[in-house]
Structure 1
Amino acid sequence: MSEPAGGGPEWTAELTAVDAESTQNLASRLGAALRAGDLLVLTGELGAGKTTFTQGLGEGLGVRPGIISPTFVLVRVHPSLVGGPDLVHVDAYRLGSAEELDDIDLESTMASSVTVVEWGRGKVEHLSDSRLEVSLLRETGGDAVGELVLDFDETGDDEPRIIRIEAFGPRWDSGPVL
Structure 2
Amino acid sequence: MSGAGRFAELAAAVGASGSAGSGPGSAALTVDDPERMHAFGVEVGRRLGAGDLVLLTGDLGAGKTTFTRGLGEGLGVRGPVTSPTFVLARTHPSLVGGVPLVHVDAYRLGSALELDDLDIDFEHAVVVVEWGAGLIEALAESWLSITIDRPHGAGSGDDPEVEEGAEPVEPRQVTLAAVGPSWA
TM superposition score category, shorter chain reference: 0.7 to 0.9
Higher strand share: 1
> Which structure has the larger Rg over C-alpha atoms?
2
TM-score calculated relative to the size of structure 1 = 0.80
Q: Find the aligned partners of 1:131 and 1:112 in 2 and give their Cα distance.
A: 14
State the aligned residue count.
153
- Per-residue CA deviation, residues 105-141 of structure 1 (Å, 9 max, x unaligned), is 12xx111100000000110123322101111112357
Specify the alignment match of 2:56 in structure 1.
Answer: 42
Amino acid at match of 1:134: I
Q: Find the aligned partners of 1:20 and 1:161 in 2 and give their Cα distance.
A: 9
| CA pair 140-131 structure 1, distance change in 2 beyond 3 A | same
| CA pair 59-100 structure 1, distance change in 2 beyond 3 A | same
Amino acid at match of 1:172: W
Specify the alignment match of 1:146 in structure 2.
Answer: none
TM-score calculated relative to the size of structure 2 = 0.78
The percent identity for this pair of structures is 54
User: Is 1:113 aligned to residue 125 of structure 2?
Assistant: yes
Equivalent positions of 1:20-59 (< 5 A) are 20-59=34-73
User: Is 1:139 aligned to residue 146 of structure 2?
Assistant: no
Q: Is the 8 A contact 2:37 2:67 kept in 1?
A: yes
Q: Is the 8 A contact 1:44 1:136 kept in 2?
A: yes
Q: Is the 8 A contact 1:9 1:168 kept in 2?
A: no
Stretch moving more, 72-81 or 8-17: 8-17
Q: Find the aligned partners of 1:9 and 1:86 in 2 and give their Cα distance.
A: 31
Give the gaps of 5 or more residues in structure 2. 1-21, 155-164
Specify the alignment match of 1:103 in structure 2.
Answer: 117
Specify the alignment match of 1:80 in structure 2.
Answer: 94
Runs of 4+ more than 4 Å apart: none
Stretch moving more, 74-83 or 121-130: 121-130
Query: What is the aligned-residue RMSD (CA, Å)?
Result: 1.7
1:98 Cα deviation after fit = 0.8
Q: Is the 8 A contact 1:28 1:57 kept in 2?
A: yes
Q: Is the 8 A contact 1:49 1:136 kept in 2?
A: yes
Q: Is the 8 A contact 1:10 1:169 kept in 2?
A: no
- Per-residue CA deviation, residues 64-109 of structure 1 (Å, 9 max, x unaligned), is 1200111111110000111111000001000111111111112xx1
Give the gaps of 5 or more residues in structure 1. 1-7, 143-153, 174-178
User: Is 1:170 aligned to residue 184 of structure 2?
Assistant: no
| CA pair 38-9 structure 1, distance change in 2 beyond 3 A | farther
